[in-house]
Amino acid sequence: MTETVTPQRTLTVALGDRSYPIHIGVGLLQQANVLMPYLAGQQVMVVTNDAIAPLYLETLCATFPDHLDVRTVVLPDGEQHKTIEQVGRIWDALLEAGFNRRCTLIALGGGVIGDMVGYAAASYQRGVAFIQVPTTLLSQVDSSVGGKTGVNHPLGKNMIGAFWQPKAVLVDTDTLTTLPSRELSAGLAEVVKYGLIRDEAFLSWLEENMQALRNVEPVVIAEAIAKSCQIKADIVAEDETEQGVRALLNLGHTFGHAIEAHQGYGNWLHGEAVGAGMSMAAMLSHQLGWIDDAALARVQAVIESAGLPLAAPANMSVDDFLVRMRLDKKNIDEKLRLVLLTALGDACVSDETPTATLRDLLQRYPRD
C-alpha cells in the first residue's frame, strides 16, 4: 500500500474487446467530459433515483455539450424497487424518446440503479452501450465492476439478468460525503471481503485504517476503492462468467441472500447481510477446522469495526436459511456450494459441507 495517491487514477478491467476503464477521483462528476469518448452516439439517457437526483443529476447533465440529446429517468430509491417493472419504465422512456441502437445509458446511483440500468441496456434492442457512475461505496467497489446486471424476483435475488459490461465507470469519491453511515458500512463489507478472499496484507491495512475509512478521509477511501476494484477486476478478467474463481466473490453471499430474501428486500442492506453472512461463513470454516480461533476472531472484529451486524435475524429458523440457500445461483444440481475461508486472504468453493454440519452452525449461530 505504498502507491502515491493522485487526485485521479484509472484502472482497466481487461476483457479483450470489452475492456473498459474505471476512473477514480475527487470531483469527477464535474468532469464528465471524460465520458465523451465512451458515448455510442448522440442519444444519452441518464437514469437515477429520487434520492440521488436532487444531489447530482443536474451537475452531471450540465457537463454534456449542447449537441447531445440528453434525457433523464428518475426511479424510486431502494432495493424493493429493483424489479422488472422498473426496468420496463427505462425501456418505455427509451422508446418514447425514439432512441436507437446507438444510444448510451448512464447509471447514476448505487448498485440497484447500476444493476437495473445495465440490464435495461443489455436488453434494449438486444444490447446498447452503458456507463456506470456509482455514488455509493458498495457500488463503487462491487457492482460497477464485473458486468453483472439484473433485477430481483419475489422468489429470489438477482434471478433475472445478464452479463453486460459497461463502456466506462466514473467514481467520484465526493459522492461518499453525502452517504448515510449505515450505507458506508454496507460498502465496507465488500471491501473487507476482498481482503478476506485474496489479500491478507490488504486486510491488515483495513484493520489499521478502519476509522479513517468510516470518516471518509479522501486519500484513504480512494486507496480502498482502487485496491478493491483492482482485486475484483483481476478476478473478473480471469473468469468473466463465473465458472470458477469468480465464485469466491460470493463469500458470505449465500447466507446473506437468504437473510435479505427472508427479511424482505430493503430491510437489511445488502452489505449488512453480507457482513453477517461472512461471519457465518467464517464460523463454518472454523467449525470445519480450516481456520483457527485467532483468525475467526480477526474476521469478526474487522466486520464489527466496519459498523456491520454479526448476529443473524432473530426471526430466522434453521429451515428458513436452508430453504432460501438452496435457491442460490451457486447451487448446481442440488449440491449446496459455499464459499469458505481456508486462511485469511484465501478462500475456496466447497460443496462438501455435510448438511448436519451446516444445520449445526445455523442452530448455534447467534441471533439478534
- Burial degree of 25 (CB within 10 A; 0-12, 13-18, 19+): buried
- 262 annotated as ligand-binding: no
DSSP state for residue 307 in the 8-state scheme: T
Q: Any binding-site annotation on 111?
A: yes
Q: Is 201 in the site for a copy of itself (CB under 8 A)?
A: no
153 is in an annotated binding site: no
What is the smallest separation between the CB atom of 162 and a copy of itself, expressed in angstroms?
A: 6
Surface-to-core class of residue 315, CB atoms within 10 Å of its CB (0-12 exposed, 13-18 middle, 19+ buried)? exposed
Cβ–Cβ under 8 Å, residues 341 and 299: yes
214 scored as a contact of a copy of itself (CB under 8 A): no
Name which of 222 and 336 has its Cβ closer to a copy of itself.
336
Question: Contact at 8 Å (CB) between 299 and 278?
Answer: yes
Does 333 sit near a copy of itself (CB under 8 A)? yes
User: Judged by CB, which is closer to a copy of itself: 166, or 309?
Assistant: 166
Instruction: Kindly indicate which of the ranges 104-112, 154-162, 227-235, 253-261 contains the residues binding a copy of itself, using the contact rule CB under 8 A.
Output: 154-162
| Binding test (CB under 8 A) with a copy of itself, winner from 25, 146, 150, 307 | 150
Element (H, E) at 192: helix 181-198
Interface with a copy of itself (CB under 8 A), residue from 65, 332, 354, 355 = 332
Query: Cell 442460490 belongs to which residue?
Result: 328
Q: Quick check: helix, strand or coil at residue 342?
A: strand
- Does 146 count as an annotated binding residue? no
Indicate whether 217 belongs to the interface with a copy of itself (CB under 8 A). Answer: no
What is the CB neighbour count within 10 angstroms for residue 96?
9
User: Which one of the spans 30-38, 129-137, 157-165, 278-286 is the region binding a copy of itself (CB under 8 A)?
Assistant: 157-165
The amino acid present at 196, given as its one-letter code, is L
Residue 345 annotated as part of some ligand binding site: no
Other Cβ atoms closer than 10 A to 16: 7
Active-site residue, from 223, 242, 260, 272: 242
Classify 67 as helix, strand or coil: coil
Write out the H or E segment, with its range, that includes residue 151: strand 148-153
Task: Name the pairing type of β-strands 338-343 and 104-109.
Answer: unpaired
One residue of 21, 26, 34, 41 binding a copy of itself per CB under 8 A: 41
**Calculated CA dihedral for residues 64, 103, 15, 338, nearest 10 degrees:** 100
Please tell me whether residue 96 binds a copy of itself under the rule CB under 8 A: yes
Residue 67 engages a copy of itself in binding (rule: CB under 8 A) = no
Q: Give residues in contact with a copy of itself (CB under 8 A).
A: 41-43, 84, 88, 91-92, 95-96, 98, 100-102, 119, 122-127, 148-150, 153, 155-156, 158-163, 241, 326-327, 329, 331-333
Name the binding residues for Zn(2+). 190, 253, 270
Name the binding residues. 77-82, 111-115, 135-136, 148, 157, 175-178, 190, 253, 270
